[in-house]
Amino acid sequence: MIGQVIAVYRERYLVEYETNRVFMEVSGRFQYINYQKSDYPQVGDYVLFHMASEDLGIIEQIQERKSILSRMDVGNIMEQQILAVNIDVVLICMSLNEDFNIRKLRNFLSITYSDDYEVIILLTKRDLCSDEQYYIHEVTQITDHKWIALSAYKEEDIELLANVLEKRTAVFIGSSGVGKSTLINALIGEEHFETKAIRMKDAQGRHTTVNRELIRLSNGSSLIDTPGIRIVSSYFVDEENFEDILLLSEGCMFNDCSHKVEPGCMVKKALADGTLDYERYQQYKKALRLNQFNQKREQERIRLLEKRTRKGR
C-alpha cells in the first residue's frame, strides 16, 4: 500500500492513506540499509508500507521525491537536514518590524535555489507596519521572486494567499516569531498551531512549532509549517541558480578563471564597479565549496548504501 507522511514524531510517522491515518515505524531492513537522517521518511514523503497490526504500519520504502527543501544540519555532523519534500511552493516569511533583516532573507534564498518549486516572499504583519514600501524596496533589490505583503488578520489578504496556493503543496520557512503559524491558523480557520507573543525587547519570537506537519485545506492545497530557523546554510546548490555570475564568467580572458588574480576577469570587474553584489558573490563561492564537500559525502553514502543493499538481499 502507498500513503503519505503528514507528521514526524522522532521514530514514529503519522501516515495518511485513503481515509485513514495510522502511526508507522520503518522496517528493520529499512534501518539496515539507511543510516542518514535524510534517508528516513520526511513530511510529504510517499511511502510503501504494510500493516503489522490494526493500529501500526511498517514502512518498507520511500518513493522518489519530486522536490526537496533542505539545509545543512545545525550540528557538527555536516549532514543534509530535510525540511520538506514533494512541495510546489516555498514561502519565505519576513515580518515587517524590527526582525526584518536583509541578510536573513539572503540566507533563506540560498537554500531555495531549485527549479523544482516556486519561491514567494511573504512580508507578514503588514497591519503593524507604517512604511511597507521601504521593506518592499529592500526585497526587490536582491530578488526577482514574487512577494506578497499581508496581515493574518485581514480577510482579503488571507483569501489572496489561499488563491495563490490552491491545489498546491507549500512549506512555510522563516525565523521564529514572523507569523508562520498565525498565517496557517488563518488559512485553515482554527487555532491549529500554538502561537506565542513576540518579546518586545528584540522583536524575536519564541519557538512554538516543534514537529513538522502537513495540513490539508478545503481548496485542495496542503501546508507544511516548520520550526523557526535561526541558522541557514545550503546543502546542495545548482550553479545555474547563479546565472548572473556564470554569464560574467563567460567573458573572462581564461576559461578556468578563479576570479582571484587573473587579468581580464569580468567577475572582478563587476565587483569593482558595483554591477555584482559582493554578498551574492560570497554566497556563490560558499556554495561551490559546500557542493564539492557534500558531493564527496554523497558519493560515499551511495557506495555504502549499495554495499548494505547487496548484503541485505
Give the residue range(s) of CATH 3.40.50.300 domains in the chain.
72-225
The residues pairing with 122 across neighbouring beta strands, listed in sequence order, are 93, 148
- In the CATH hierarchy, which top-level class contains the domain 72-225? alpha beta
Give the 3-state secondary structure of residue 161: helix
Instruction: Assess contact for 47 and 15: CB atoms under 8 A.
Output: yes
Q: Does 45 or 239 have the greater pLDDT score?
A: 45
What does the pLDDT look like over 103-139, one tens digit per residue?
888 888 878 878 899 999 999 999 988 899 999 999 9
pLDDT exceeds 80 at position 73: no
Give the residue range(s) of CATH 1.10.40.50 domains in the chain.
243-290
**pLDDT on residue 65:** 96
**pLDDT on residue 232:** 45
Instruction: Assess contact for 262 and 256: CB atoms under 8 A.
Output: no
Whole-model pTM?
0.69
Q: What's the start-to-end Cα distance of the chain, in Å?
A: 22
What does the pLDDT look like over 261-300, one tens digit per residue?
888 998 888 889 888 888 878 877 877 776 666 666 666 6
The residues pairing with 77 across neighbouring beta strands, listed in sequence order, are none
Q: What is the CA radius of gyration of the chain?
A: 21
The closest alpha carbon to 113, from 221, 243, 259, 223, belongs to 243
Which cell goes with 136?
A: 518592499
**pLDDT on residue 156:** 96
* Pairwise CA distance, residues 66 & 197, whole Å: 36
The least confident of 59-68, 80-89, 178-187, 249-258 is: 249-258
Which cell goes with 166?
A: 490552491
Query: Angle, to 10 degrees, between the axis of helix 132-140 and the axis of helix 102-110?
Result: 40
**pLDDT on residue 239:** 55
Return the CATH number of 2-62, one of 3.30.750.80, 3.20.20.70, 3.50.50.60, 2.40.50.140: 2.40.50.140
pLDDT class of 71 with cuts at 50, 70, 90: confident
The domain 243-290 having CATH identifier 1.10.40.50: the answer here is yes
Give the residue range(s) of CATH 2.40.50.140 domains in the chain.
2-62
Instruction: Assess contact for 5 and 45: CB atoms under 8 A.
Output: yes
